[in-house]
């Protein structure tokens, strides 16, 4: 599965995913400045793991084939620590089959599945 990083993630995390041998794409490198609507269109069509720090993607979650991980990790935390937390979340996600499609991630590094009800 491709791990798709929203443009608000540091390139250091993208590089770390590559070093781990994971298939990663970073919007900053491929589609810089792309509108959220275009990202949502992709998330509706492809089974990717999308990591974002932007809550604008919450409402799109019920209609997506993609799984969405909304990072709420503190930006004041050292970047190396955040990278480790995000990497741990990717590994947690990959370690089992989830029925849920939307997750929140906080400073403790635990993925929290969240049910999003379609309005």
Model pTM score = 0.93
Number of CB atoms found within 10 A of residue 36's CB: 14
Q: In this structure, are residues 68 and 43 in contact, taking their beta carbons and an 8 Å threshold?
A: yes
Task: Extract the residue ranges of the chain whose pLDDT is less than 70.
Answer: 117-119
Name the CA dihedral angle for 34, 37, 41, 42, rounded to a multiple of 10 degrees: 30
| In the block, residue with structure tokens 């720090």 | 53
| Domain ranges within the chain, ordered by starting residue | 3-113
- Where are any strands of DSSP class E within the chain? 3-5, 24-26, 49-52, 67-71, 102-105, 111-113
The fold adopted by the segment(s) 3-113 is Rossmann fold (3.40.50)
88-110 residue pLDDT tens = 999 999 999 999 999 999 999 99
């Amino acid at each position: 599965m491709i791990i798709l990083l929203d443009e608000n993630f540091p390139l250091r995390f993208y590089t770390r995913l590559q070093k781990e041998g994971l298939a990663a794409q970073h919007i900053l490198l491929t589609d810089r400045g792309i509108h959220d609507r275009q990202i949502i269109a992709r998330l509706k069509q492809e089974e990717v793991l999308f990591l974002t720090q932007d809550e604008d993607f919450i409402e799109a979650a019920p209609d997506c084939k993609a799984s969405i991980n909304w990072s709420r990790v503190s930006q004041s935390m050292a970047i190396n620590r955040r990278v480790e937390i995000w990497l741990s979340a990717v590994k947690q996600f990959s370690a089992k089959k989830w029925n849920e499609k939307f997750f929140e991630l906080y400073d403790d590094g635990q993925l929290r599945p969240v049910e999003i009800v379609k309005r």
